[in-house]
Chains A and B, each alone.
Chain A
Amino acid sequence: MSDAAILKLHDLDLLSREFQDPRALARLRKLGLEIVQPEVLSRARARLLATVDRRWLNLYERALRRYGRAVALVRDRVCQGCFITLPTSVTPSVSESLTLCESCGRILYWR
């Protein structure tokens, strides 16, 4: 799996959610940072989905539906989604910086 694709998907979904919130849109409009082509997001998401491994995509979508954010950062071995300390058995490999939080099901990003 491309770790970067999951991170890009996360960032894209953050942006999408921001632009679905009328208050956020009003704030941006006031700043002169209007969104004129929102349809770009759905097209970009569709393209990105084609690059993500299906198993990870299913895990991603499930966590997204449940929590609103599917990827959680790991800081000092603590999942920043559910704040559980991760067991030493959960450690990223050299080739993959993503793992799954066995407690909350979010995808973990080890920076």
Chain B
Amino acid sequence: MSMTIGLSVLDTSLYISDLRPKRKETALREMVARAALAGVVSEPLVLEEALLLRERLGSTSVGKGVAVPNARSLAVIDPRLMVARSRRGIDWGSSDGLDIHLVFLVLSPGECPDESHHEFVARAVAVARLQRNRQKLLEASSFDAVASVLREASP
């Protein structure tokens, strides 16, 4: 299962230009609801629980205002990368103490092997680590601009 950040995993209906919640639990709930609405998730409550459980094991903040929550779940129909920005910032329990302004939600179906899921997560993290990518994503004016940054940044 190839997990490049290409057209197959990006979807305009999975982009949230300004996520309003201040708490990560509420933010994740809102993102899952959006994914369910887009038909990417069959059982939103199951996915929500998987994501919240993962957060309880350790924060998925990767620093510099970026979080990469992720789940492999039977509730996920197809691999998808969901992107959300938050102007006011979300308290994600980050070790660097910074609020989160960029969320990459990585969703893999339950049948996806560990390695493929981790590769998918790694691609999102790689994009987030570069300051110029973060800047472009935060300044992007549309989903197309976000998708273009992701496609260019991910081999």
Measured CB to CB, the residues of A under 8 A from B are: 4, 7-8, 10-12, 14-15, 18-19, 21, 24, 27-28, 31-38, 40-41, 44, 71, 73, 80, 109, 111
Q: Which label, helix, strand, loop or mixed, suits the secondary structure of the A interface?
A: helix
Interface size grouping (class) on chain B: 20 to 34
Interface centre among B49, B57, B70, B118 (most CB of A within 10 A): B57
| Nearest-CB residue, chain A, relative to B53 | A44
Which residue of A11, A21, A27, A33 contacts B58 across the interface (Cβ within 8 Å)? Answer: A33
| Nearest-CB residue, chain A, relative to B47 | A11
Interface stretch of the complex, out of B4-12, B29-37, B60-68, B143-151: B60-68
A33 to B63, CA, bound (A): 10
Q: In chain B, residues 50-93, which have Cβ atoms closer than 8 Å to a Cβ of chain A?
A: 50, 53-54, 56-58, 60, 62-63, 68, 70-75, 77
Q: Which label, helix, strand, loop or mixed, suits the secondary structure of the B interface?
A: mixed
Chain A contacts for B125, CB-based, 8 A: 31-33
The 9 closest A-B pairs by CB, nearest first: A36-B58, A11-B50, A32-B62, A7-B46, A40-B56, A11-B73, A35-B58, A35-B57, A31-B125
Chain A contacts for B70, CB-based, 8 A: 33
Q: Is the CB of A73 within 8 A of B57?
A: no
Q: Is the CB of B118 within 8 A of A28?
A: yes
| Nearest-CB residue, chain A, relative to B118 | A27
A9 CB to closest chain B CB (Å) equals 10
Interface centre among B46, B71, B74, B109 (most CB of A within 10 A): B74
Q: Is the CB of B121 within 8 A of A33?
A: yes
| Nearest-CB residue, chain A, relative to B54 | A15
| Nearest-CB residue, chain A, relative to B61 | A32
Chain A contacts for B122, CB-based, 8 A: 27, 31
| Nearest-CB residue, chain A, relative to B124 | A31
12 extra A-B contacts, CB within 8 A, seeds A4-B45, A27-B118:
A4-B46, A7-B43, A15-B72, A24-B118, A27-B122, A31-B62, A33-B125, A34-B58, A35-B58, A37-B58, A109-B74, A111-B42
